Structure 1
Amino acid sequence: MTSESKPKRATIKDVAEHAGVSVSTVSYVLNDSGPVAPERRNRVLNAARVLQYSPNESARNLKRRTASRIGMVIPDLTNQFFAMIAEGVHQAASAHDVLVVLVVPGSAEQSEEEQTRLLRSQRVDGVVYLSSTGSMPAASYELARSGPVVLVDEQIPGVDLPAVVSDSRKGAREVAQHVIDNGHRRIAVIGGPESLWTAQQRLAGYREAFAGAGIDPDSVPVLVGDYRQDAGYELASRALAADIEPTALICANDLMAVGAMEYCRNSGRRMPNDVSIVGFDDLPLSSLLTPRLTSVRQPAHDMGYRATTVLFDLIENRTPAPMSLLPTTVQVRSSVCDINGA
C-alpha cells in the first residue's frame, strides 16, 4: 500500500465534525470529564465507532500525568538477580495497568546505544535503568532529558537521577566479618568490575571489616572479575595458586562464587574444610549448592518494585528521595568452616 492509499487515522476533530459537536464535547465524552446531554453523548460514541477512532494514549497520559507504558533497560535476564529485579518492576507496573517495554542489550546483536534508541521510539513515559557498565550511553541521556529515568541497583557518578539500591557496603562488611569470626586470616577477594558502584561499595565494606580485625586491607589480594561464573572459576584458580594459599574466598556476587566452587571441586579441594567461600546476592540457587552458600541477601524484587513506584512519582510530578537504600542481610549457611578449633 502506498502512502497515498494508506487510510488516514481519524482525529478527535473528525469525530467532532461527524457528530456535529465541538471538539471539547468529544473530549468530555471520551474522557468522561464533563457533563454532556445523553443525545449528544450517543452521537459522539456513534461517530467514534463509525470512524474507528482510537485516542492517542501518549498525549492523554502526558496531559493526565499518568503512565501507559514504561521501559526497562536490563543487562542480562539469564542472571537470576537481574531477573528478580525485572519481576519487581513488572509487578509494580501491572498493579497500575502499565505495560513494560523490556530492553536487554546483552541478548541482541544491537549495542546498548542502538537498543536505547529503539526504546525511545516506543514513546515510553519513563524508564527504569540498570547499568552493567557504570555509565550511560548518549541515547540514554536523551531518554533522561525527554522523560523520567530511575536507576536501580547501580548509581552512576555524575548523573543526577534518583536511584534505588541496597546497602552493599554494610552487607559486605558483615559477610567479611563472618569469615573473620570463623578464624580466617588468609583471605582473597574476588571483586566485581571496578567501574561499578556496587563493586566499589562491596570492596569498601570488606576492607572495613579487615581493618577492624587488625588485618591490613592492602595485604588482602583482590582479583577483579566481571560478575560472571567463568570469571569466578578463573580467578579462584589464580587466587589458590598463590604461595600462601588463602583459606577463604570472598566473592562479590553469587555467580562468581559458583564458579569458584566449581574450580575447587575440579581441583580436588574440599569445601569448606580446605577453602571457605561466600557470595553476594543470595540467588535462589545459593541454598541448593553443596555446600550451601553463605551469601548477602539483597531484596532484588523489592528494588525493582520500589524503582517503579519512584518512577511513577516522577511521572505524576511528585518529588521522590534522591536515593532509596534498602537493607541487606547475611544468610549464614555451610560454606564457611570454623578454623578456630571451637
Structure 2
Amino acid sequence: MKDVAEHAGVSVSTVSYVLNDSGPVAPDRRNRVLDAIRLLEYSPNESARSLKRRSASTIGLVIPELTNQFFAMVAEGVQKAASARDVLVVLVVPDAVEQAEESQGKLLRSQRVDGVIYLSGTGSMPASIYQLARSGPVVLVDEQIPGMDLPAVVCDSRKGAREVAAHVLDHGHRRLAIIGGPPALWTAQQRLAGYREALAGAGIDPDSVPVFAGTYRQASGAALAEQALAGPAGSRKTALLCANDLMAIGAIEYCKSAGLRVPEDVSIVGFDDMPISALLTPRLTSVRQPARDMGYRAATALFDLLESKESTVTGQLATTVQLRETVCPPDDAR
C-alpha cells in the first residue's frame, strides 16, 4: 500500500479509502490510485484486511457430495452470498476424495478459515470440526446435531413429509412402505415423523407400515424398492414414500426393470425437488426445499456472527409439495 501511495502521490489512508470504499476521495486521486494498483499489480492481503474490518476473507463449506443436486444448490447459495462480500469459499467434499470428514476438518483448520458452514452426512460432528466451532463460528445447514448448540438453517421437513404423504393417502393408497434416510440424520427423523403423522391422521397404524432405512443415494432407493415391493401382486405395496429424490429415482428405475408401471402399479414420491425431478418420465411428485436460499442464509448468518452481529437464523424455511405425475389411485380405488 505504501508503494501504491508513493507512486500515486497520495497518502496510505487515501489508498485504503479507495480499496475499501470507506471514505471520500476526489476523482483524480482515485484514478491515480487505481492506475498505480494496475501498474504495480498490487493485490491486497485479504487476511490482514479481514482482521481490521472484523469480517471474513475465507470461509469453509463442508458438504457430503456434489452428485446430489440438492447439495450442489446449497453450495451455489453459499457462493452467491460470499461473492457479494468478496469472500473466498473453500469447498470440502469428503466423498469426492475418499477422505473422512475428520481429515477434511483438519484441512480447513490448516487453511485458517474464518468460519465454517457444515452440512453433515453422518448426523454427528467430527472432533476436528468441533475444534473449529470452539475457535470460530460454525453454522449448520439442512441438519441439526443433538447436543450441539449451533445456529442452523433448516426447512420444515416434518410438515413437507406430512403433506406429501397425505397427498398419497388422499388417492386411496393403504398398502404403503417408507424408504427413509439414514436414521442418525435429523432430516431423516423429521421426514419419518411427518409420514407417520399423516398415516395416523388417515386412521392407519404407523407401526404397520414398514420402514426401510436408506442412504439418500440412488442405488439405495433401487435396492430397497425391490425389498419393499416383494411378494404377490395382490398384496404388494401400492405406494412408496421416499425420503429424498435420489432414492425415489432409484425406486422408479427398479420398477421399470421389474415391469411395474409408475404410477399405475406403484405410486412414488420424493423429497428435495431436485431440478432433474421435473424432467423424468413420469415427472416426480416431490417436496421442494429452497436449497439455494438455505445456502445463502447460512452464509449470511455466518458473516453476521463474524462481524459480531446477532445471528439472522430464525425458524424454519417453508417447504411446498410439487404435484406431478408419479401418484394416482391404486387399482382397487379406481
TM exceeds 0.5? yes
Tell me the amino acid that sits aligned with residue 172 of structure 1: A
Measured in 2, the distance between the counterparts of 1:174 and 1:52 equals: 57
Q: Is the 8 A contact 2:142 2:155 kept in 1?
A: yes
The structure 1 residue matched to 2:165, chosen from 176, 184, 190, is 176
SS at match of 2:316: strand
Determine the structure 1 residue equivalent to 2:16: 31
Query: Which residue does the alignment assign to 1:108?
Result: 97
Q: 1:325 aligns with which of 301, 312, 316?
A: 316
Q: Which residue is equivalent to 2:53? A: 64
Q: CA deviation at 1:99?
A: 1.2
CA contact (8 A) 2:300 2:312 kept: no
Match of 1:72, SS?
A: strand
One-letter amino acid matched to 1:80: Q
Alpha-carbon shift at residue 63 of structure 1 (Å): 3.0
Specify the alignment match of 1:139 in structure 2. Answer: 128
Q: Give distance in 2, aligned partners of 1:297 and 1:54.
A: 42
Separation of aligned partners in 2, 1:311 and 1:83: 19
Local SS of the residue matching 2:133: helix
Specify the alignment match of 1:39 in structure 2. Answer: none
What secondary structure, in the 3-state scheme, does the structure 1 residue paired with 2:154 have?
strand
| Residues 57, 240 of structure 1: alpha-carbon distance in 2 compared, 3 angstrom cutoff | same
Partner of 1:228: 217
Q: State the 1:113 CA deviation.
A: 1.2
- 1:289 correspondence with 2:274: no
Specify the alignment match of 1:91 in structure 2: 80
In structure 2, the gaps of 5 or more residues are: 25-36
Read off the aligned partner of 1:311 and give its amino acid letter: L
Deviation at 1:287, TM superposition (A): 1.1
Q: Per-residue displacement from partner, 1:192-228 (whole Å, max 9, x unpaired)?
A: 0000000000000000000001000000000000000
Instruction: Give the aligned partner of residue 150 of structure 2.
Output: 161
**Which residue of structure 2 lines up, in the alignment, with residue 123 of structure 1?**
112
Deviation at 1:324, TM superposition (A): 4.0
> By how many angstroms is 1:111 displaced?
2.2
Superposed displacement of residue 172, structure 1:
0.0
Q: Deviations over 1:27-52 (max 9, x none)?
A: x45534899xxxxxxxxxxxx99x99
Q: How far 1:147 moved relative to its partner?
A: 1.2
Partners in 1 of 2:265 and 2:98 — Cα distance? 42
Which AA in structure 1 matches 2:142? Answer: D
In structure 2, what is the equivalent of residue 194 of structure 1?
183
- Selected match of 1:151 from 125, 132, 140: 140
Q: Is the 8 A contact 2:152 2:298 kept in 1?
A: yes
Aligned to 1:193, the other structure's residue is in SS state coil
Q: How far 1:322 sits from its partner (Å)?
A: 5.3
Match of 1:267, as an amino acid?
A
Write the distance in 1 (CA, Å) between the matches of 2:172 and 2:333: 9
Are 2:203 and 1:214 aligned?
A: yes
Task: Give the share of equivalent positions with the same residue, in percent.
Answer: 70
Counterpart for residue 289 of structure 2: 298
Question: Normalising to structure 1: TM-score of the pair?
Answer: 0.85
* Alignment match of 2:237 (pick from 240, 246, 250): 246
Shift of 1:53: 8.6
CA RMSD across the alignment: 2.8
Q: Is the 8 A contact 2:92 2:104 kept in 1?
A: yes
2:325 aligns with 334
Q: Once the two structures are superposed, what CA deviation does each residue of 1:156-204 show, in whole Å capped at 9, x if it has no partner? A: 1111110001110000000000000000000000000000000000000
| CA deviation after TM superposition for structure 1 residue 110, in Å | 2.7
Gaps of 5+ in 1: 1-11, 20-24, 36-47
Query: Which structure has the bigger radius of gyration?
Result: 1
The corresponding residue for 1:203 is 192
**Letter paired with 2:174:** R
| Distance in 2 between residues matched to 1:322 and 1:54, nearest whole Å | 34
Given the superposition, is the C-alpha separation of residues 322 and 242 from structure 1 closer, same or farther in structure 2, using an over 3 Å criterion? farther
> When the two structures are aligned, how many residues end up with a matched partner?
316
